[in-house]
């Protein structure tokens, strides 16, 4: 293990105050000996850097999918008090409200008589790739509706049901959104892209429920062994990226203006109650709403394909849940035994609220929220649920994926798209992407082993297993 960090348990380590100068609290990260080789010193330094930020509460935290990111490590979680706390775009990421949703179907694998045709139809129904343009570009006033109402806008337009909204974190809408804090340039980037998957790590995957770990929770979530499901991973596209870029500039200036000392300028931040902090929060919330509308529109496109192919109605394809994994939100957590409103930054981390949370729909409060963790196009993804331990230890947070271990350039030197496709084909997994490079960059080998990452969060008590989801066919952006 890295010099200077101390082991607390089989799955938890501490980065003590002093690891980097100016730390206000210690860092804590969750990992296992089996994942030690994947740990980057740079990411632990970033975890320690976050601990120097004004007002940080308890610990700077990182999940087992930790890897190097912009400012904060990916897999990072940090909470700040509403008074005297700060907000930082580096703690959210460029793809604001990148997230994952899981949709079930009434189908079994045997019903997929032409999997290739299904994947091809999905590929054509959901615009995919770097500059993907929407089949339904929106007007400027529609865009304002999207930024204000998120998934609610999409449902109002006929792209889903009220039940979909209930099954989204925040009901698919951050009420604090301020479209006026979103630049014209960001709006221009957003107009042609609602309902598009984007590029890179974003995906749409047809999966089968391989194994149930908790039958009661699976029943409650509407999931059963052998069932075909669809997982969607994407975010706020060019609009979110532009919001982050625009506000980083103002927050870099604000960092100086408010005399905040930081070890890394990528941690640029401003007091939560400052004009700069408020503007970023309002714009970030608007971009988060764009992402929810985007995933909702893609859901509609997916349901239409399944309806045509299998004569099933959209109601037979309910949303299990939709989670955000790049976001900052005000939430109430126990701090020193007192219920306190804090701004939780999750940067490549997933909310994992436990049983009894008032933020969950009544039918889920007995068990906790569904937590959806993707693996890779060749390894399993997982459905888990939130726990009270996560509430106590990590501000109700868990990991967001397996976590990348190899850069895109190294991946292209190591794998070819054809090779990866052939190997996945041998396991019966179909891959469709705009080009071969996209497949090489996303080979399963660029990610940590998802099963071990999940084992760590379960052993640490941050989530509890519900079901394993195995890939059948994937569309990569």
Ligand X SMILES: Nc1nc2c(ncn2[C@@H]2O[C@H](COP(=O)(O)O)[C@@H](O)[C@H]2O)c(=O)[nH]1
Give me the residues that bind ligand X (CB under 6 A), please.
Answer: 65, 74, 98, 201, 203, 205, 233, 348, 374-377, 381, 400-404, 442, 447, 471, 474, 476
Site string for Mn ion, 220-239 (x = CB under 5 A): ---------------x----
Q: Which is nearer to ligand X, 24 or 408 (CB)?
A: 408
Looking only at the bridges linking them, the beta strands covering 12-15 and 6-9 are antiparallel
Is 178 labelled as part of a ligand binding site? no
Minimum distance between the CB of residue 365 and Mn ion, rounded to whole angstroms? 27
Minimum distance between the CB of residue 207 and ligand X, rounded to whole angstroms? 7
- Just list the catalytic residues: 400
Q: C-alpha dihedral over 339, 281, 400, 13, to 10 degrees?
A: -60
Which residues make beta-bridge pairs with 349?
399
The one of ligand X, Mn ion, none whose footprint includes residue 65, by CB under 5 to 8 A per kind, is ligand X
What is the rounded CA–CA span in Å between residue 163 and residue 307? 18
Burial tier of 10 (Cβ tally within 10 Å: 0-12, 13-18, 19+): exposed
Is 205 labelled as part of a ligand binding site? yes
55 in Cβ contact with 273 (< 8 Å): no
Minimum distance between the CB of residue 75 and ligand X, rounded to whole angstroms? 9
The one of ligand X, Mn ion, none whose footprint includes residue 401, by CB under 5 to 8 A per kind, is ligand X
Minimum distance between the CB of residue 379 and ligand X, rounded to whole angstroms? 7
Is 377 labelled as part of a ligand binding site? yes
Minimum distance between the CB of residue 201 and Mn ion, rounded to whole angstroms? 6
Minimum distance between the CB of residue 326 and Mn ion, rounded to whole angstroms? 6
Is 375 labelled as part of a ligand binding site? yes
Q: Which is nearer to ligand X, 252 or 322 (CB)?
A: 322
Is 203 labelled as part of a ligand binding site? yes
Q: Which is nearer to ligand X, 205 or 252 (CB)?
A: 205
Q: Which is nearer to ligand X, 360 or 424 (CB)?
A: 424
Q: Which is nearer to ligand X, 77 or 262 (CB)?
A: 77
Is 202 labelled as part of a ligand binding site? yes
Q: Return the residue matching tokens 């062994």.
A: 225
Rg (CA), the chain: 21
Which residue's CB atom is positioned nearest to ligand X? Answer: 401
Q: How far is CA 422 from the centre of its chain?
A: 29
Say whether residue 98 binds Mn ion (CB under 5 A). yes
Say whether residue 76 binds Mn ion (CB under 5 A). no
Is 348 labelled as part of a ligand binding site? no
The one of ligand X, Mn ion, none whose footprint includes residue 290, by CB under 5 to 8 A per kind, is none
Q: Which is nearer to ligand X, 270 or 424 (CB)?
A: 424
Minimum distance between the CB of residue 21 and ligand X, rounded to whole angstroms? 29
Site string for Mn ion, 234-273 (x = CB under 5 A): -x--------------------------------------
Q: Which is nearer to ligand X, 241 or 404 (CB)?
A: 404
What is the rounded CA–CA span in Å between residue 99 and residue 221? 18
Minimum distance between the CB of residue 233 and Mn ion, rounded to whole angstroms? 6
The one of ligand X, Mn ion, none whose footprint includes residue 402, by CB under 5 to 8 A per kind, is ligand X
Size of the site for Mn ion (CB under 5 A): 3
Neighbours of 311 (CB within 10 A): 8
Is 201 labelled as part of a ligand binding site? yes
- Sequence-distant contacts of 332-336: CB under 8 A, at least 24 apart: 333/79, 333/391, 333/395, 333/396, 334/391, 334/392, 335/57, 335/58, 335/81
Q: Which is nearer to Mn ion, 95 or 205 (CB)?
A: 95
What is the rounded CA–CA span in Å between residue 42 and residue 33? 18
What is the rounded CA–CA span in Å between residue 247 and residue 285? 13
The one of ligand X, Mn ion, none whose footprint includes residue 442, by CB under 5 to 8 A per kind, is ligand X
The one of ligand X, Mn ion, none whose footprint includes residue 377, by CB under 5 to 8 A per kind, is ligand X
Say whether residue 95 binds Mn ion (CB under 5 A). yes
Is 204 labelled as part of a ligand binding site? yes
The one of Mn ion, ligand X, none whose footprint includes residue 205, by CB under 5 to 8 A per kind, is ligand X
The one of ligand X, Mn ion, none whose footprint includes residue 468, by CB under 5 to 8 A per kind, is none
The residues binding Mn ion (CB under 5 A) are 95, 98, 235
Q: Pick out the residues of the known binding site for GMP.
A: 201-205, 325-326, 374-377, 381, 400-403, 476
Q: Pick out the residues of the known binding site.
A: 95, 201-205, 233, 325-326, 374-377, 381, 400-403, 476
């Amino acid at each position: 293990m890295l010099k200077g960090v101390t082991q607390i348990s089989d799955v938890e380590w501490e980065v003590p105050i002093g690891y980097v100068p100016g730390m206000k609290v210690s860092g804590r990260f969750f990992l296992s000996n089996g994942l030690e080789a994947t740990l980057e010193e740079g990411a632990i330094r970033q975890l320690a850097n976050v601990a120097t930020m004004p007002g940080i509460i308890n610990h700077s935290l990182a999940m087992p999918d930790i890897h190097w990111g912009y400012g904060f490590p990916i897999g990072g979680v940090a909470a700040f008090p509403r008074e005297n706390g700060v907000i930082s775009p580096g703690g959210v990421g460029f793809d604001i409200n990148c997230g994952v949703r899981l949709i079930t179907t009434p189908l079994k694998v045997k019903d997929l008589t032409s999997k290739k045709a299904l994947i091809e139809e999905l590929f054509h129904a959901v615009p995919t790739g770097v500059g993907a343009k929407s089949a339904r570009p929106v007007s400027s006033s529609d865009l304002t509706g999207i930024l204000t109402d998120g998934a609610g806008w999409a449902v109002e337009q006929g792209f889903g049901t009220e039940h979909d909204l209930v099954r989204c974190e925040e009901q698919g809408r951050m009420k604090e959104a301020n479209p006026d804090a979103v630049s014209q340039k960001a709006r221009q980037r957003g107009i042609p892209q609602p309902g598009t998957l984007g590029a890179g790590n974003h995906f749409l995957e047809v999966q089968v429920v391989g194994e149930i770990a908790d039958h009661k929770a699976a029943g409650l979530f509407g999931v059963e062994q052998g069932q075909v499901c669809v997982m969607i991973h994407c975010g706020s596209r060019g609009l979110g990226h532009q919001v982050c870029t625009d506000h980083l500039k103002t927050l870099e200036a604000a960092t100086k203006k408010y005399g905040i000392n930081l070890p890394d300028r990528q941690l640029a931040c401003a007091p939560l109650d400052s004009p700069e902090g408020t503007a970023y929060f309002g714009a970030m919330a608007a971009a988060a709403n764009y992402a929810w509308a985007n995933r909702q529109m893609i859901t509609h496109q997916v349901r239409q394909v399944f309806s045509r192919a299998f004569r099933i109605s959209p109601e037979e394809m309910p949303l299990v849940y939709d989670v955000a994994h790049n976001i900052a939100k005000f939430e109430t957590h126990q701090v020193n035994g007192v219920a306190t409103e804090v701004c939780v930054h999750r940067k490549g981390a997933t909310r994992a609220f436990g049983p009894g949370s008032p933020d969950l729909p009544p039918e889920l409060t007995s068990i906790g929220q569904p937590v959806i963790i993707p693996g890779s196009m060749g390894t399993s993804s997982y459905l888990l649920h939130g726990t009270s331990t996560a509430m106590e230890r990590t501000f109700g947070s868990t990991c967001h994926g397996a976590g990348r271990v190899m850069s895109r350039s190294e991946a292209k030197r190591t794998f070819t798209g054809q090779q990866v496709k052939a190997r996945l084909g041998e396991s019966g997994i179909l891959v469709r992407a705009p080009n071969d490079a996209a497949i090489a960059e996303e080979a399963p080998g660029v990610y940590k082993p998802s099963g071990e990452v999940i084992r760590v969060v379960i052993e640490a008590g941050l989530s509890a297993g519900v079901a394993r989801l195995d890939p059948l066919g994937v569309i990569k952006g």
